[in-house]
Amino acid sequence: MQGIVDFAFPKICLSCKNKLYTLDNENYICQPCRTKIKRNMPPFCQVCGRHLEKQNPNKSICPVCLRTRLHFDRAFSPCSYEGVIKKLIHEFKYRNRDHLGKSLSGIMIEFIKEYDLPIDYLDMIIPMPLHATRLREREFNQAEILSKYIASEFGIDLASGSLIRHRFTKTQTELPADNRFSNVKNSFSVSRNCDLRNKNVLLVDDVLTTGATSSEAAMALKESGTNIVFVLTLAN
What are the pLDDT digits (tens) for 176-208? 677 788 888 888 999 988 899 999 999 999 999
**Which pLDDT score, from 0 to 100, does residue 214 have?**
96
pLDDT value at 215 more than 50: yes
Q: Where are the domains of the chain?
A: 25-177+184-235
pTM of the entire predicted model: 0.90
> DSSP string of 138-184?
HSS-HHHHHHHHHHHHHT-EE-TTSEEE-S----GGGS-HHHHHHHT
Pick from 201, 203, 218, 211: nearest CA to 236: 211
**Which pLDDT score, from 0 to 100, does residue 85 have?**
96
Topology of domain 25-177+184-235 in CATH is: Rossmann fold (3.40.50)
Residue 137 binned pLDDT confidence (cut-offs 50, 70, 90): confident
Q: In the Cβ-directed half-sphere of 49, how many Cα atoms lie within 13 Å?
A: 29
Dihedral of alpha carbons 225, 230, 231, 234, sign: negative
- The percentage of the chain sitting over the pLDDT mark of 70, rounded to a whole number, equals 91
**Which pLDDT score, from 0 to 100, does residue 212 have?**
93
**Which pLDDT score, from 0 to 100, does residue 21 have?**
73
